[in-house]
Amino acid sequence: MRLQYTALACALLIGTLSGCGESSSSQCGDGFPNCNKTDNTTQFDEKALVSHLVDRIIVPQHNAFAASLAPLESAVDQYCQALQADTVTNELNLAQAAWRSTATEWQKIEMYQLTPLSQDTQALRNLFYSWPSVSTCGVDQDTVFNDAGMINTTPYDISKRSVSRRGIPALEYTLFNSDLDHSCSSNSGAVANWNSRTDASRTLARCKYAQTLVDDIKVSQQTFANIWQGDNGYASQLKNAGQPGSDFTSVHQAVNVISDALFYLDSFVKDKKLGEPLGYFGTPTNVESPYSETSLQNISANLQAFYQLYMGDHFGSASPLGFHHFLIEEGETETAQNILTNIQAAQNRVANMQSSLKAQLNADQSDLEALHADIKKVTDDLKTLFITTLALELPSTSAGDND
């Protein structure tokens, strides 16, 4: 029986699978003639690799993120209650700490953007984390709408609002931005009277919007979980690749889909989170997570997640099994070790940084430049010997990009 998704789930997730009649967007990079190889004759147990990565790495991380939402909801609720009773002591700090925990767990999932998150220009992913598309003015406007319970004559419904004013980045803004004035370019529309409201009124309105944001994230999380779970869920489809009832025609295709996730390190971590702020692509851009100043913690979580997926090692697994072992089986021990060495070097470099990314951009950028170089060594190997040795396709986000 073929995979039966709801219309919503199908629109959000299926693109590389035949169930919705679309094809893969991956393609070969220039100079990689073997990446379209279809007669995979390796003796390596790819089915065991897929099952291990799904059951021991990816799904446990989904569960860790889901588990972080209850403490986050409780902390935000307690902060709002304290504001209403005018008894605030340490509640904001606790809510911020809970946000950091949830955000860190999400940053690990950022590295595991398989089809359910990446499909349809990242529609599902953006409900959680739309960065770099974030509108603080939009958050200010929706704070007003949420507080009033209406948009003009229509009841306020966050599910109908754009992703740039929802999710984890919007929640960061409501909890960490100490400037209570709105960030819109003009003092008109929904925010026309915002700056004249009392500090207490504005702080409480932001907290109420934070509660709405947490509720919205919980709804998105349930949609995400429903897609992955069950006998016909995405996890089962991956693990049963090549078998009747799976939309993956071969185990190697499932391996390729999982390997695509590793390239987040290239297109997002190396280029957007480091390269763009450093000015490597023109005028420097703003950093990720500017209000909490957790940009480096985000990168650290990304690197940890990469290590876990590459090594198949989740918190010291007794029997790790990952792409590292696949490379060794195919005779590329040197490449396997180089990737491991360089990702560990990047992890150590981030751990030893003493100030925020924003502070380093305004002072000495040498550590950030060295971190970028460490990560580039990894991504260079991913885009060459990794894909050719394992007969994989290069994601469209990295094809032809060998900087």
pTM, whole model, 2 decimals? 0.89
Look up the domain containing 200 and give its range.
46-228
Quote the pLDDT of residue 364.
92
The reply to whether 202 and 69 lie within a common domain is yes
The verdict on 272 and 355 lying in the same domain is yes
- Residue 289: per-residue pLDDT: 98
Give the per-residue pLDDT at 318: 77
366 and 268, same domain (yes or no): yes
Is residue 37 situated within a structural domain?
no
| Residue at which a domain ends, from 178, 197, 228 | 228
Instruction: Give the pLDDT of residue 24.
Output: 38
Question: Is residue 2 one of the residues assigned to a domain?
Answer: no
Residue 242: inside a domain:
no
Is 64 found in the same domain as 190?
yes
Spell out the residues 6+ positions from residue 64 whose beta carbon is closer than 8 angstroms to its own: 105, 108
Specify the pLDDT at position 162. Answer: 98
Q: Rounded to an integer, what distance in angstroms lies between the CA atom of residue 128 and that of residue 213?
A: 10
Q: Do 218 and 79 have their domain in common?
A: yes
The pLDDT, as a whole number, for residue 219 is 98
Q: What type of residue is 190? A: A
Residues of the chain with pLDDT under 50: 1-39, 402
Residues 289 and 176 in one domain: no
For residue 120, the model assigns a pLDDT of 92
Is there a domain that residue 41 lies in? no
Both 172 and 266 in one domain: the answer is no
pLDDT in tens, 52-64: 999 999 999 999 9
pLDDT of residue 316: 66
Indicate whether 188 belongs to any domain.
yes
Residue 281 and residue 181 in one domain: no
Residue 244 lies in a domain: no
120, part of any domain: yes
Residue 237 falls inside a structural domain: no
- 221 with 269, same domain? no
For the chain, what is the domain count? 2
> Could you tell me if 221 and 263 lie in one domain?
no
| pLDDT of 399 | 64
Are 181 and 274 in a shared domain? no
Residues 67 and 195 in one domain: yes
